[in-house]
Amino acid sequence: MLIGCARASTRDRRPHLQLDALRDAGCERVFQETASGARRDRTELKSALEFMRRGDSPIFTVFSAIAELERESNRERTPAGLDAARNRGRKDERPRALSDKDLKQAHARLADPEITV
């Protein structure tokens, strides 16, 4: 089953072209969102995903909905990945860019009045 997802921005609020395109594409069920794209709570998109079953295909007329879904997914996965790394003994710090030797050499060059930029 093809599941359609349409979103009209709060400025535009004219989803008719999207709805027609989704129905013309063969979507049997269409979910329509009129909330701002900046909102995190996308009730119709969530409803569409909950409605879908194995073998169904989501059809989007605006690809920003897919990007927003991926951002939300990343937002959820990142803390979980960091927690898992910490549990394995990994520290939260970045690797040092300079060794102690390189850092001392850089400080010495900065302090040397003979060396100019």
Residues marked active site are found at 9
Alpha carbon 109 to chain centroid distance? 43
Sequence-distant (≥ 6) Cβ neighbours of residue 75 within 8 angstroms: none
Closest CA to 30 of 70, 67, 59, 69: 59
Using alpha carbons, list the distances in angstroms from residue 48 to 2, 3, 30, 76: 11, 7, 8, 19
Q: ∠13-40-4 over CA atoms, to 5°?
A: 55
